Amino acid sequence: MAVSERETVITVRGLKNQFGDQIIHDGLDLEVHRGEIFGVVGGSGTGKSVLMRSIIGLQTPTAGEIEVLGENMIGRSEDEAKNIRRRWGILFQNGALFSTLTVAENVEVPIREYFPFIKPPLLDEIAGYKIAMSGLDESAGPKFPSELSGGMRKRAGLARALALDPELLFLDEPTAGLDPIGAAAFDELIQNLQKQLNLTVFLITHDLDTLYAICDRVAVLADHKVIAIGTIPELLALDHPWIQEYFNGPRGRAAVAHRGAKGEGGHDRGAVGVKQERAN
């Protein structure tokens, strides 16, 4: 599909986030296209999570415009925002599960909120299906989060994020804290779910293996804005010092070597050309 024909599902224009005298974003722009896995990277303090919170309406920006799935997200009433939010799912860091609820009950929370007419046993069947989709055994359903490993809690959080059959999936550091094998398995799961469910994935990560393995395009945050968007090969062609240090540093070279050892080619499912902006 031509670039001009691709549907944009997230648009951010002129975003500014400021806390007191601290400016997090200033003039940040980006677009996410339907059906892509879109990665966001940046150094500590560049506001990756603040960006995601602004997009999903948990953070009110100081200035700027945000549209998600064709709807303006700024200044919406709670009822209006709720109708949009049911079209996406969110996996926060560490899963953010309710500790007093079982895994199945956690998955049922958004279903009960948006579809209160759905009762057991159908509700239980839906929860079980979502748990299976996340790669967990059905025995995880009656367990509490404290009884799960870190990787299992992330998958349980993913099952809850998928509860409402979302079009758009937000993931905040999904592989953080996982061992390399667990992280690779989670990457594969996300990629498979994206293909099977035709999801658009907005992914915040610092994991270079994840970026190389599954992301179609990557946005780089620095200097209070998005300084570049493109495929990893396109980003590597840029001369920005942070980009070069990040992707060509020891960890970046290790990620490339790891993929080369596995015989994997570059991942590029309809990625568009690079965009680069310099700070004023």
Q: Where are the domains of the chain?
A: 3-87+200-276
Rounded CA separation 99/252 (Å): 37
pLDDT of residue 259: 59
Write down the pLDDT at residue 6: 80
pTM of the model: 0.87
Task: Give the CA angle between residues 219, 190, 176 to the nearest 5°.
Answer: 70
Strand pairing category for 63-68 and 37-42? unpaired
Q: What kind of architecture, by CATH, is found in domain 3-87+200-276?
A: 3-Layer(aba) Sandwich (3.40)
Which mean pLDDT values do the consecutive 10-residue runs of the chain (280 residues) have? Answer: 71 96 95 97 91 93 95 84 90 88 97 94 96 95 94 95 97 92 95 96 94 96 94 92 82 55 46 40
Contact of 126 with 163, CB cutoff 8 Å: yes
Instruction: Tell how strand 275-276 and strand 225-230 pair up.
Output: antiparallel
Helices (H), 76-207: 78-85, 103-114, 122-133, 150-161, 180-197
Q: CA-to-CA distance for 168 and 34, rounded, in angstroms?
A: 8
Lookup: tokens for 92:
């926060």
